[in-house]
Homo-oligomer: A and B are copies of this chain.
Amino acid sequence: MEQRTDIASLGEFALIDHLTQEAEIKNASTVLSIGDDAAVIDHFGKQTVVSTDLLIEGIHFDLMYTPLKHLGYKAVSVNVSDIYAMHANPTQITVSIAVSNRFSVEALEELYAGIHAACEQYHVDLVGGDTCSSPKGLVISITAIGEVATDKFVCRSGAQVNDLICVSGDLGAAYLGLQLLEREKKIFLENPAVQPDLEARDYIVKRLLKPEARKDIIEWLDEQAIQPTSMIDVSDGLSSELLHLCKDSQVGCVVYEEKIPIHSETKEVSFDLGIDSTTCALSGGEDYELLFTISQAEYDKMPMQEKISIIGYITEADKGCFLETKQGNRHPLIAQGWKSF
């Protein structure tokens, strides 16, 4: 009998590694290939950075509570976030969509209104794409291209022992926004007469539906002349991203629970829903904040401000990756990001 390995038994990251291990580099212009947020291509003076994402209805978004304009905006944000995570500036995107006949032209106009708004926001040009029909559901594929001064791109693999671990903004809100919308969807499906109760939950809902890529952080780092030693964007939850950074940099880390930035609304809703807010930050995902490391020498340049939090430090690999709780206990970090399979 033919061998059959279940995809679920590998997991997404192992699957990509597995499927792409053969990919041998043929062009001198390919500076960095698979395995980071984006690839890097050399172009005589500047380097080009490429990143791509595929968004599938029913997997990545639910049109029952996702306005199409927000979806278009988010699809671009998520992609340019990967470009920023390379310390690069996005310059162009391509957008391909597959739609079934249940979508009207007006619906697609809404989607593209969001895409165009994001192009304005991130100063990128929509330069191409493909549109075709789908037997079922909406598929969005976006490729973002960016540029960076030669060898100034920042990989996941550059973290050094004693580096400080920094994260922008706050974490865990998008995950709670999703829980809230899923709850309201369930209530609505049981009784369509009940109106959604999202009052005073603007922040977490917006964090899920209309995330912003942190262009401002990259600009700020440039102004301060801070070159991070490693960087990644937080799409699968802090734990998962920290483990990626540490694995690729061959280091360990300690992160302090009390230093993890969590918005007051996130704390309130997590309390209401009976979910630990630290767990939301560690495993929730979809925050699209930037997680990066800097050498201790840069410490004085870091402001004590809301925009960036220093949450821990890098250790030797053999020390492992730990969370130090508010009570002073150390727990190993475990990747519990959203599973695609």
Q: How far is the CA of A174 from the CA of B19 in the complex (A)?
A: 29
List, in ascending order, chain B residues with CB within 8 A of A133's CB: 7, 56, 59, 340-341
Closest Cβ–Cβ distance, residue A33 to chain B (whole Å): 5
Q: With contacts A43-B44, A94-B52, A129-B52 known, is A101 near B7, CB below 8 A?
A: yes
- A: residues with CB less than 8 A from B are 2-10, 12, 15-16, 18-20, 22-27, 29-30, 32-34, 38-39, 41, 43-46, 48, 50-54, 56-60, 91-92, 94, 96-99, 101, 103-106, 108-109, 112, 116, 119, 123-137, 139, 141, 143, 145, 147, 340-341
Return the chain B residue nearest A126 by Cβ.
B23
List, in ascending order, chain B residues with CB within 8 A of A45's CB: 43-45
Closest Cβ–Cβ distance, residue A338 to chain B (whole Å): 10
Closest Cβ–Cβ distance, residue A143 to chain B (whole Å): 4
Q: With contacts A7-B108, A94-B39 known, is A12 near B44, CB below 8 A?
A: no
Closest Cβ–Cβ distance, residue A46 to chain B (whole Å): 6
List, in ascending order, chain B residues with CB within 8 A of A46's CB: 43-44
Interface majority SS (helix, strand, loop, mixed), chain A? mixed
Q: With contacts A15-B105, A105-B15, A141-B52 known, is A132 near B60, CB below 8 A?
A: yes
List, in ascending order, chain B residues with CB within 8 A of A96's CB: 52-54, 141
List, in ascending order, chain B residues with CB within 8 A of A128's CB: 33-34, 38-39, 50-52
Q: How far is the CA of A98 from the CA of B137 in the complex (A)?
A: 13
Return the chain B residue nearest A51 by Cβ.
B128
List, in ascending order, chain B residues with CB within 8 A of A51's CB: 94, 128
Return the chain B residue nearest A36 by Cβ.
B128
Q: With contacts A126-B33, A129-B52, A135-B59 known, is A109 near B19, CB below 8 A?
A: yes
List, in ascending order, chain B residues with CB within 8 A of A20's CB: 112, 126, 129
Q: Jot down 7 A-B pairs with beta carbons below 8 A, ordered by A.
A: A4-B104, A7-B101, A27-B123, A30-B127, A44-B46, A53-B130, A94-B143
Are A34 and B127 in touch, CB under 8 angstroms?
Answer: yes
Are A130 and B19 in touch, CB under 8 angstroms?
Answer: no
Q: With contacts A7-B103, A135-B58 known, is A127 near B44, CB below 8 A?
A: no
List, in ascending order, chain B residues with CB within 8 A of A12's CB: 131-132
Closest Cβ–Cβ distance, residue A97 to chain B (whole Å): 7
List, in ascending order, chain B residues with CB within 8 A of A9's CB: 105
Return the chain B residue nearest A2 by Cβ.
B106
Are A124 and B91 in touch, CB under 8 angstroms?
Answer: no
Q: With contacts A6-B105, A123-B27 known, is A98 near B54, CB below 8 A?
A: yes
